[in-house]
A and B are shown apart, each in its own frame.
Chain A
Amino acid sequence: MSGLATYNFAYLDEQTKRMIRRAILKAIAIPGYQVPFASREMPMPYGWGTGGVQVTAAILGPSDVLKVIDQGADDTTNAVSIRAFFQKVANVEVTTRTKEATIIQTRHRIPEEKLTEGQVLVYQVPIPEPLRFLEPRETETRKMHALSEYGLMHVKLYEDIARNGHIATTYAYPVKVEGRYVMDPSPTPKFDNPKMHMSEALQLFGAGREKRIYALPPFTDVVSLDFDDHPFTVQSFEKPCALCGAEGVYLDEVVLDDRGGRMFVCSDTDYCEDRRAQGFLGDQGVPLKEAAE
């Protein structure tokens, strides 16, 4: 070894990893329950994915291939810096291709491509407690989870309907896991909720500032809360992706000028690039080769 300071593999010390690993095992054994853990300070501020980073660091090994996305994109600040972090401290192979990754750390999206067995999706979670904005006291929300008392959440959704005529919650849409725990899927658009249900991949959630880890094992029942007369629906888009022409995917709005010009493009950059490489083209798309020139 040369140089002054070197880090332990994947940055965290071994005792911290053991503590996080024990929390992960209990989280998997109790799907949807938030396990408290002794979150460490990381070399990035709270709110930048410290929970997800700690979970990834605790499970990551030299044979893993890591993908990091931020709102579906591989090339935004948060994704780029976390990917660079793990390249530096774990020398791990990284990719932007969803199907090549063994671990995908995500901020607020689930990739469009169906995840497969053996993959692990690690979510960065800002506020893990779905009841927090309804009941600020931790002592009370803990009791509500213990007693499976989720009436307040239904009241909240009902008030949405009373005010707006429909359930206006569009992201961090609460789900019920295996008929027991109500869980916050992190601020993913509700569009992604159905992908959590019976997913083949293991899903781990880390909240650094709030010090909670929770999990969904593969093939777990995940139901978005709704009412018989107001069933859960996902967002739909009027037009396909302007670059690749994909339909039935989640789109981001991109403002093009100051005269009201805008386009809607895939939020999942890997999915969009993959489709364009296959020759699919949207309204305003150009073939990949020309774009590169």
Chain B
Amino acid sequence: MQDTSIFTGGFADPVLQGQAAFRAVMDGMANPGRIKETDGTPSAPGGVPSAMAALALTLVDHDTPFTLGESLRASAFPAWLAFQTGAPMADTAFDASFAFFTCADAFPAFEGFPIGSDEYPDRSVTLIIEVEALEGGPQLTARGPGIRESAVIAPKGLPADFLARWRENGTLFPRGIDLVLVEGTRLLCLPRTTRLQAREA
């Protein structure tokens, strides 16, 4: 029996829904830390949240190899991605333009993903990671381009050493990875320029 779940769950209207999902992530990248909503219609196998499925349908195609967390790799999600977008699985994480991780896997280490070069810092991965929740976690103060003065974010389910790892990513500038955190239909972007600090109570 063939798994038919890979044929469904795409955009009903790829043009306009793709545009709307892109504007959500573009506004998110331009306003780091601000939570953006997607329309919630796409659904992908493997327990993938709708916002992650929407980002995959919007940004990924045959030009952009992807890599996946282990549990996603074992699910029907790679077949869904291949059918819906035509994107190839990357041979190694270092070849990936996009990487998808759900809560079923541990938060990935940033090492091993492409961070671009000083000449071409844009040739770096965008990590799309599901977290337990985008709010209700320990409070962090965010500063940097796109943020007026400062913003407070509180994603739940980040690893204990996340701040140190993120700071290290920031020191690589202009190289570095960009991060999109998702929960259900919502997303929150952290481009490499955003500086995070634990918030004093």
| Residues in A lying within 8 Å of B, measured CB to CB | 8-10, 14-15, 17-19, 21-31, 33, 35-36, 58-62, 118, 142-143, 145-147, 178, 180-181, 200, 202, 215-221
Chain A hits for B20, CB < 8 A: 61
Given contact pairs A19-B63, A31-B193, A147 touches B146 in the complex (Cβ within 8 A): no
Chain B hits for A19, CB < 8 A: 63
Asked if B147 contacts A219 (CB within 8 A), the reply is yes
- Number of A-B pairs, beta carbon distance below 8 Å: 109
Contact residue among A14, A61, A180, A218 (Cβ-Cβ distance under 8 Å from B30): A218
Chain B hits for A30, CB < 8 A: 121-122, 174, 192-193
With A and B bound together, what is the CA distance between A217 and B35 in angstroms?
16
Closest to B146 in A: A217
Asked if B122 contacts A21 (CB within 8 A), the reply is no
The proximity string for B residues 9-37 relative to A, scoring 1 for CB distances below 8 Å and 0 otherwise, is 00000111011101101110111000000
Contact residue among B14, B23, B26 (Cβ-Cβ distance under 8 Å from A28): B26
- What is the minimal beta-carbon distance from A16 to any residue of chain B, in angstroms? 10
- What is the minimal beta-carbon distance from A255 to any residue of chain B, in angstroms? 42
User: What are 12 inter-chain pairs, A to B, with CB distance below 8 A?
Assistant: A17-B18, A19-B63, A22-B64, A26-B122, A28-B26, A28-B191, A29-B193, A30-B174, A33-B174, A217-B30, A219-B148, A221-B145
Given contact pairs A25-B26, A30-B121, A30-B122, A62 touches B16 in the complex (Cβ within 8 A): yes
Chain A hits for B25, CB < 8 A: 25
Asked if A180 contacts B29 (CB within 8 A), the reply is no
Contact residue among A36, A62, A118, A218 (Cβ-Cβ distance under 8 Å from B146): A218
| Residues in B lying within 8 Å of A, measured CB to CB | 14-16, 18-20, 22-23, 25-27, 29-31, 58-61, 63-64, 97, 117-122, 124, 126, 145-148, 173-174, 178, 191-193
- What is the minimal beta-carbon distance from B195 to any residue of chain A, in angstroms? 11
Chain A hits for B64, CB < 8 A: 22
Asked if B178 contacts A25 (CB within 8 A), the reply is yes
Given contact pairs A9-B16, A28-B191, A33-B174, A21 touches B58 in the complex (Cβ within 8 A): yes
With A and B bound together, what is the CA distance between A19 and B58 in angstroms?
10
Asked if B126 contacts A218 (CB within 8 A), the reply is no
Closest to B25 in A: A25
- What is the minimal beta-carbon distance from B150 to any residue of chain A, in angstroms? 10
Closest to A201 in B: B30
- What is the minimal beta-carbon distance from A18 to any residue of chain B, in angstroms? 5
Chain A hits for B29, CB < 8 A: 25, 28-29, 217
With A and B bound together, what is the CA distance between A181 and B147 in angstroms?
19
Chain B hits for A58, CB < 8 A: 22
- What is the minimal beta-carbon distance from A40 to any residue of chain B, in angstroms? 14
Given contacts A25-B25, A33-B122, A146-B117, 14 further A-B contacts (CB under 8 A): A9-B16, A18-B58, A19-B63, A22-B59, A23-B122, A29-B178, A29-B191, A30-B122, A30-B193, A36-B120, A61-B16, A142-B119, A217-B29, A219-B147
Closest to A219 in B: B148
With A and B bound together, what is the CA distance between A9 and B36 in angstroms?
24
Asked if B59 contacts A18 (CB within 8 A), the reply is yes
- What is the minimal beta-carbon distance from A117 to any residue of chain B, in angstroms? 8
